[in-house]
Copies of this chain bind each other. A is one copy, B any other.
């Protein structure tokens, strides 16, 4: 799979998800208009759509057609959008710029931004609960909802954000174990859920390939975060779409500060190699997942 084939796969995923979400998200003409505007602004404003791509990609690897996985793919993107809105709030990371545009609270105010995040979490659940195309039926949907809820709760994504804030507030530089613990929760849990939800949609997947997919996801989740930290140091603000050097200004520990740039890059490569090893038992239908693994450490935004 060449670079351009990956780009067209990502573009396909993005188009699929955005066209469904454009229809699912109430328009600004529906009350309360400003809330719906804020939700649409956050969800339809670009982004990499990496989590849906992982769900579709994992589905392809185990023989599930993309059109059977629209609900989990869309739910994941809604959750991701909600988490970015709340993370950017003044009381949290206090970011003004996201995806090259003013953050949600800058445009719609803090109250509307908080509510937009809350409502997007609810919409994600609704999309998944009301879907009836997932192959495994209602049983698969409750399993996916359970997995998603755990991945975003106090012992998943929300917990990771709390760990990050607590570490920053402590004023002490965390060690590598603490940093890894933050990221396993803050970004890793949802990335892992993205792959796991595809496996749960399959009514009779063996535990072995399911385990390999899970380890693949765990590795690329951490590699993704290391690359994010590297981009904060050496990326271009115009490309990454958020303010470069933000981590350093906020005194956040990152992989480059703890390991040095070269070692951080090396670490990301090791994780990608381990991710790919876990795909060895899969045929060429796992190529999108393979290419995503490479993309995660090569990307410049």
Interface, chain A (partner B; CB < 8 A): 26, 30-32, 34-36, 39, 86, 89, 91-92, 109-112, 114-119, 121-123, 125-126, 129-130, 137-139, 141-143, 145-146, 148-150, 152-156, 158-159, 161-163, 165-166, 181
Among residues of B, the one whose C-beta sits closest to the C-beta of A124 is B149
In the assembled complex, the CB of A141 is this many whole angstroms from the nearest CB of chain B, namely 5
Q: A121: which B residues are within 8 A, CB to CB?
A: 118, 121-122
Question: Chain B nearest CB: distance from A276 CB in Å?
Answer: 31
Closest Cβ neighbor of A155 among chain B residues: B26
Chain B, Cβ-Cβ closest to A82: B118
12 sampled A-B residue pairs with Cβ under 8 A:
A31-B159, A32-B162, A32-B166, A35-B162, A89-B111, A91-B110, A92-B111, A116-B154, A123-B154, A129-B142, A138-B141, A138-B142
CB nearest to A111 among chain B residues: B91
Q: What residues on B are CB-neighbors of A35 within 8 Å?
A: 154, 158-159, 162
| Residues from chain B with Cβ under 8 Å of A137 in the complex | 138
**Residues on the B chain within 8 Å of A123, using CB:** 149, 153-154
Chain B residue at minimum C-beta to C-beta distance from A117:
B118
Q: Is the CB of B126 within 8 A of A150?
A: yes
Set B31, B91, B110: member contacting A163, Cβ < 8 A:
B31
A119-B39 in contact (CB<8A): no
Which of B125, B143, B146, B154 is close to A26, meaning CB atoms less than 8 Å apart? Answer: B154
Shortest CB-to-CB span from A211 to chain B, Å, is 21
- Chain B residues near A126: list those with CB within 8 A: 146, 149-150, 153
**Which residue in chain B gives the minimum CB-CB distance to A154?**
B119
Q: How far is the CA of A163 from the CA of B116 in the complex (A)?
A: 13
Min distance, Cβ A23 to any Cβ of chain B, angstroms:
15
Q: Please measure, in the bound complex, the distance between the C-alpha atom of A115 and the C-alpha atom of B4, giving whole angstroms.
A: 39
Specify which chain B residues have a CB less than 8 angstroms from the CB of A152 in the assembled complex.
Answer: 118, 122
CB < 8 Å neighbour of A129 from B89, B122, B145, B181:
B145
| Whole-angstrom CA separation of A291 from B145 in the bound complex | 35
